[in-house]
Structure formats: structure tokens, C-alpha cells
Amino acid sequence: MPLWHVDEKGAVPMEQITQPKKRMLSGIKPSGDLTLGSYLGAIRNWKGREDSFDCFYFMADLHAITVRQDPAALRRRTIEQLAQYIACGLDPEKNTLFIQSHVHQHAELGWVLDCYTMFGELSRMTQFKDKSAKNADNINGGLFTYPSLMAADILLYQPDYVPVGEDQKQHVELCHAVARRFNGIYGEVFKLPEPFVPKVGARIMSLTNPSAKMSKSEAEDTGRVLLMDSPEVIMRQFKRAVTDSDTLVHFDREKKPGVSNLMTIYAACTEKSHEQIEQEFAGQGYGAFKTAVGEAVVETLRPIREEALRLMKDKAYLESVYQTGAQKASYVAEKTLRKVYKKVGFVAR
């Protein structure tokens, strides 16, 4: 019989309170600037998560160079991404925020896991096939072994959950396969994380091609809005958004993908329901609607952009955040790496 803890929110089994928080880890490649899509679809939900979970978030710069990067741009984006996360509400005191290349254990465990990941498994990865097709002149070894490094990212921290988007599920499954193989040989070294299905975030599509997801790696002018875009640029992007030959603001993903996408964005920014939005713009045509959506987005992003710009000027602060983050992360990662080195038969230093 569990003992119960009772407070104003109700009764909770005591063991849920006395147990340490479950751990969660996720990484994002700084290979493009964050978009309105990543914000409304994911980052917005991270705020406050630290109350229930022990959260680790990192900038996956090691993964970013599997595709050729401009060094100055990669450096800028890595720091900017950190500033943006903080601006979006991730409290660095309560979350562990770090840069992947600062924690050398990732690359080290990545190599070990390469030796426990099969050529056939890596060849079947959808992302590898897609990226090889897109970068035919640079199908490098890192692009191929990307998933074993990602498995290392995860397994080093023994997390309970790994929140990822649909496109990354296959990588988490491979991580499981590798961990199971390793545990099968050496005993229970790695904990298998459960997939984390976050509260459904809004799925935001491109403004000019509403059948495709709004993507950070697409070229400019492909109907994406960046978190750091100025109000002028945002308004211009929304004025150019595709709608249809109708004039009716009505939600129908199939028949009216452009208008529906704008409604999703407007609903996410204003918390209005689709019915309220339909009523609000009844008989007004698309011009007024697009302006209203643009303005709502400008106001939603304004505090984030302003805070990120302010943080970007405070290099010393950002440096202290990623240094502390790397220290905390290394501490956890090193424990796992030591165990692995011992298991595989490396001589202790």
C-alpha cells in the first residue's frame, strides 16, 4: 500500500515525490536558424518542464559538421541558439544547457558504439539516404555513422526519456538496438530510454508551400519565419503567404492548406479557437487576415527576440552558462564512459 501525499492539487503516492526526477535529454543541430515552426511546435513546450524533469539540452555541433558548414556561421548559430533557448524560457539554473563538442565523452563513446553498430543498420537509415541524395558530393563517413554518435549522446546520460520529432524516431530505435546489443554482451550498462511523446505541438508548414514543413535548413524565401526576423521581415513574409482563390477564412487542411496553416499559427499565438477566428474574419477577405496573423506573430516573438539580442551582447554570461553546462554534463557522461571503457577491456589510466 503506497503512502499518500495530499496537498491542494490532490493525492500523489509518496514514492513519486521521494523518487528523484526522471531525466530527459535532447539535442538540436545548430545547422540553421530556429524558425517559428520550431518554436510553436517544440521549444514553447520546454518551458516549465524542468519542474517535473531533470532536463539536458545540447547544441549538436558535432552532428552539424556531417554537412559542410561555414565556420563563422556555425560558431554564431551555436551561441545564438543558446541565447534563444534562454530567451524562450529555459532557465539555465534549472536545465543543463551545453555544447556537444565541449563534452569530449560524446566523441569517445561515439567511436566505441561505432564498433557495435552494423553496416547494414546504418545503411537502412532514412535520414542517411535522404542526406546522401541531397549532398551527393559529400557523402562522408560521419554522415553514415551519425546514428552511433547520436546513440552515444543519449546513452551517456542514462535518460528516461528522449523527446524527438517524428523524423528522429528511427535513430532512437537504432540507439535501443545498439544498447541492447552492448548490454547483451557486457551486462546492464545502458538504460534504454522510453520515447517521449510530447503534448502535441502545432505542426507549422511553409508559408509559400504549405504541403512542406517549415524548415530551418531550407533556403531563404521558402516561406519560413525565423525567431530572429525583424517585424518588417515577418510582416512581409505573411503578406506573401499563399492562400487560395476563395476568400473564406475556414479551417480545412486538405482543401485549404495555406489558410489552415495561417489559422494554426494565429491560434497558437492568440489562443483563439478556429471558430472564433472564422467569426473574427468573416467577410473580410485574406488581406486583413494575413496582416492580423503577421502582427500576432510579431508580438509573440518580440519579447524572445529582444531578450535573445540582449543576451547575445552579454558574451560573458553566455560563456558562463555553457561552461557550467559542460561541467555538469561531463560529470554525468564520464561515469558512463568509465564503465564502458572498463567493460570493453581498456586499461584504466
Write out the residues near ligand TRP by the rule CB under 6 A.
Answer: 25-29, 60, 63, 150, 153-154, 162, 164, 168, 171
CA distances from 268 to 46, 93, 124, 203, 296 (A): 15, 28, 36, 10, 9
Q: What proportions of the chain, in percent to the nearest 5, are helix, strand and coil?
A: 55, 10, 35
Q: Which residue is nearest to ligand TRP (CB)?
A: 27
**Residue 44 carries which side chain, given as an amino acid letter?**
R
Task: Please identify, using beta-carbon distances, which residue of 27 and 92 lies nearer to ligand TRP.
Answer: 27
- Least separation in angstroms between residue 164's CB and ligand TRP is 5
CB 227 within 8 A of CB 30: no
- Least separation in angstroms between residue 76's CB and ligand TRP is 19
d(CA 236, CA 123): 42
Task: Please identify, using beta-carbon distances, which residue of 154 and 297 lies nearer to ligand TRP.
Answer: 154
Active site residue 131: yes
The three cell numbers locating residue 346: 581498456
Catalytic residue (choose from 9, 21, 131, 313): 131
- Least separation in angstroms between residue 98's CB and ligand TRP is 12
- Least separation in angstroms between residue 147's CB and ligand TRP is 8
- The C-alpha torsion from 205 through 206 and 210 to 213, rounded to 10°, is -50
Give CA 164 to chain center in angstroms. Answer: 7
d(CA 102, CA 108): 12
- Least separation in angstroms between residue 175's CB and ligand TRP is 8
- Least separation in angstroms between residue 155's CB and ligand TRP is 10
Strand partners, 24: 55, 161
Q: In what order do the strands lie in the sheet with 53-59?
A: 96-99, 53-59, 22-28, 161-163, 194-196
Task: Please identify, using beta-carbon distances, which residue of 171 and 290 lies nearer to ligand TRP.
Answer: 171
Give CA 241 to chain center in angstroms. Answer: 25
d(CA 126, CA 190): 25
Task: Please identify, using beta-carbon distances, which residue of 121 and 307 lies nearer to ligand TRP.
Answer: 121
Distance between start and end Cα atoms, the chain: 48
Catalytic residue (choose from 22, 29, 169, 216): 216
Closest CA to 224 of 211, 238, 244, 245: 238
Question: DSSP 3-state assignment of 35?
Answer: strand
Active site residue 256: no
Catalytic residue (choose from 21, 29, 134, 213): 213
Task: Please identify, using beta-carbon distances, which residue of 170 and 208 lies nearer to ligand TRP.
Answer: 170
Task: Please identify, using beta-carbon distances, which residue of 25 and 337 lies nearer to ligand TRP.
Answer: 25
φ/ψ of 88, rounded to 5, equals -80, -5
Active site residue 339: no
Task: Please identify, using beta-carbon distances, which residue of 125 and 269 lies nearer to ligand TRP.
Answer: 125
- Least separation in angstroms between residue 302's CB and ligand TRP is 27
CB 250 within 8 A of CB 256: yes
Write out the catalytic residue numbers. Answer: 131, 213, 216
